[in-house]
Amino acid sequence: MGKAHNTVGRGRRTPGLRILIALAALLLPLVVSTAPAGAQPGPRVDRIDRIGDRFAIVHVYSPSMNRVIPNEVYLPANQGAASPTLYLLNGVDGGQEGKSWFQSTRLRDFFSDKHVKVVSPIGGRYSMYADWRHPDPVLGVNKWQTYMTSELPIAIDNAFPSTGRNAVGGLSLSAASALDLAVQAPHRYQAVASYSGCARTSAPEGIAANAAVVAFGGGNVFNAFGPPGDPAWVRHDPFVNAERLRGKAIYLAAASGIPGPADGVTGLAVIGQTLGPGAVEFATNLCSMAFKSRLDSLGIPATLSQQATGAHTWGLFEQQMRDSWRVIGPAIGA
> CA-to-CA distance for 63 and 83, rounded, in angstroms?
26
What pLDDT, in 10s, does the model give residues 11-62?
444 444 343 333 333 333 333 333 334 456 799 999 999 999 999 999 999 9
**Contact indicator for 42, 154 with CB cutoff of 8 Å:** yes
> CA-to-CA distance for 77 and 218, rounded, in angstroms?
41
> pLDDT above 90 covers what percent of the chain?
80
pLDDT of residue 40: 62
pLDDT interval class at 110 (50, 70, 90): very high
pLDDT of residue 80: 95
Q: Which long-range contacts (CB under 8 A, 24 or more apart) does 271-277 make?
A: 271/311, 271/313, 276/312, 277/311, 277/312, 277/313
Indicate the pairing of strand 249-255 with strand 191-195.
Answer: parallel
**Contact indicator for 58, 71 with CB cutoff of 8 Å:** yes
**Interior angle at CA 174, CA 169 and CA 175, nearest 5:** 50
What pLDDT, in 10s, does the model give residues 223-250?
999 999 999 999 999 999 999 999 999 9
> CA-to-CA distance for 35 and 130, rounded, in angstroms?
32
Q: What's the predicted TM-score (pTM) here?
A: 0.85
> Which domains does the chain possess?
44-332 (3.40.50.1820)
Rg (CA), the chain: 26
In order, the DSSP letters of 28-46 are: HHHHHHT-GGGPPP--EEE
Asked if pLDDT for residue 251 goes beyond 90, the answer is: yes
> pLDDT above 70 covers what percent of the chain?
84
What pLDDT, in 10s, does the model give residues 119-140?
999 999 999 999 999 999 999 9
**Contact indicator for 165, 332 with CB cutoff of 8 Å:** yes
What pLDDT, in 10s, does the model give residues 262-301?
988 444 433 333 446 788 899 999 999 999 999 999 999 9
pLDDT of residue 97: 87
End-to-end CA separation in angstroms for the chain: 88
In 3D space, the residue among 133, 100, 139 whose CA is nearest the CA of residue 119 turns out to be 100
- State the average pLDDT for the chain: 87
Asked if pLDDT for residue 107 goes beyond 80, the answer is: yes
